Amino acid sequence: MKRLLPFLLATVLVAASCGSDSDSETTVTTEATTATTEPAAPETTEAAVTTTEPADTTPDTTEAPSPEVTAAELAARGPFAVGITTRPLPEGGLVEIWYPADEASAGGTDVYNVRTFLPPGVGDLITGDIDDSFTIEATRDASAAGDGPFPIVLFSHGASAFRLQSSHIAEHLASWGIVTASTDHPSRDLTNALGGTAEGQPPSVDQMRSMRTLLTTLDDDPVLGGALDNERVALGGHSAGGGTIAEVALDEGILGYVSYASGLRDSVPEVPSLFMAGELDAIIESSLTSEAFALAPAPSWLWVFGNTGHLAFSDLCAIGSGDSNLIDLGEQAGLGAFLDDGLRRLATDGCDEPNRPVQEVWPGIDHAATGFYRWVFGIDAEPVGLDESVVTDGVTATSK
């Protein structure tokens, strides 16, 4: 039984394939408190990809865009309290939804435990005295804010992960008036990957599309009724999830996407995009994300964070006391002898030195993603803070 957890740790990675191309670009690099290396510019090659040009999905609005905010403001928590709730998909599986909540619910918290997403038997190895929790600054089932409806981001998690893996990002977006919904992908989630039951599960794009459909049925929901603007929908995805959203972004009505530590598959969506990568990522090298950016049509942005690795775009370097990771959990469970150097590297990419603490990187991730989504949703007339970093040092920002 104890040999199963090392397999869990080994599966926290994925490879995403993408081609390369070149385009007219503007690059701004900010100083870091520690040394960073600017990624090499992608070379021009011919890529066998399919591009599509969906119908204009810009939402009609008669309202003038609200006044622009600063990047520094977007890096901080937004004006809304945050609620969190769970809804089932018709075919099975759960959807986690973060949303702007009524001010009366401000100050609440919700907690998830990593062991919840382990198969029976494996989760039992993480005993009660081991802190495998992550605290979300959100109130469970709080009443939605009355200012809605609010635009929606559909999020896709990485390989051997789970729907709550990037709660920090989702919580931040909700505080700025952007609903975020995320579901588990049985074809690659932590439970099925570790349990050996991932093979034969439906593809991840199926859950993404089912989740999108589900949200259109919640107009009379006791918590979310009136909160969801299903005419304004964008995507976000980490690692393998970046490949998933690149496919779903071809669907009608998708306004744009943010790809975290990932690349593209066989198609290039003709919608605005923002790519983020960690310079020290050994799972999905930042050069692969740069190649995906080169393929994407304008407008597009690429942010490469110096001294940053793969898991910085998730909660998984800040479990428990705020600085623990999956290897730490294994050590505390008495499994250190089973964890070789290769496993330790794969399960901690982005968590340990020379990587910066993820809490130092999160403000930059937050402000870039929030600024991008506010623009594609028509909240700001122009993108805020995407061409330079005023929040986090050591960012190379490229645009076209």
Architecture field, domain 4-399: 3-Layer(aba) Sandwich (3.40)
What 8-state DSSP symbol labels residue 337?
A: G
Instruction: Please report how the helices 167-175 and 358-376 are oriented relative to each other, as an axis angle in degrees rounded to 10.
Output: 50
Q: What is the pLDDT of residue 192?
A: 82
Q: What is the pLDDT of residue 191?
A: 82
Query: What are the sequence ranges of the domains in the chain?
Result: 4-399
Q: What is the pLDDT of residue 216?
A: 98
Q: Is 266 exposed, middle or buried (0-12, 13-18, 19+ CB in 10 A)?
A: middle
**β-bridge partners, 201:** none
Distances (CA, A) of 70 to 30, 290, 377, 390: 17, 26, 17, 9
A 10 A CB-CB count for 61 gives: 12
Which residue is listed with tokens 């995906």?
292
Strands 300-305 and 273-278: parallel
Q: What is the pLDDT of residue 34?
A: 40
Q: What is the pLDDT of residue 54?
A: 46
Q: What is the pLDDT of residue 338?
A: 47
Q: What is the pLDDT of residue 52?
A: 44
Which residues contact residue 165 at a Cβ distance below 8 angstroms, ignoring those fewer than 6 apart?
157, 158, 238, 314, 315, 316
Which residues contact residue 1 at a Cβ distance below 8 angstroms, ignoring those fewer than 6 apart?
121, 122, 125
The pLDDT averaged over each successive group of 10 residues in the chain (400 residues) is 37 36 54 42 38 48 60 95 97 96 96 86 66 93 96 95 96 98 92 83 95 98 97 97 97 98 92 98 94 97 96 92 60 53 62 92 96 97 84 91
Q: For the whole prediction, is pTM greater than 0.95?
A: no
A 10 A CB-CB count for 193 gives: 22
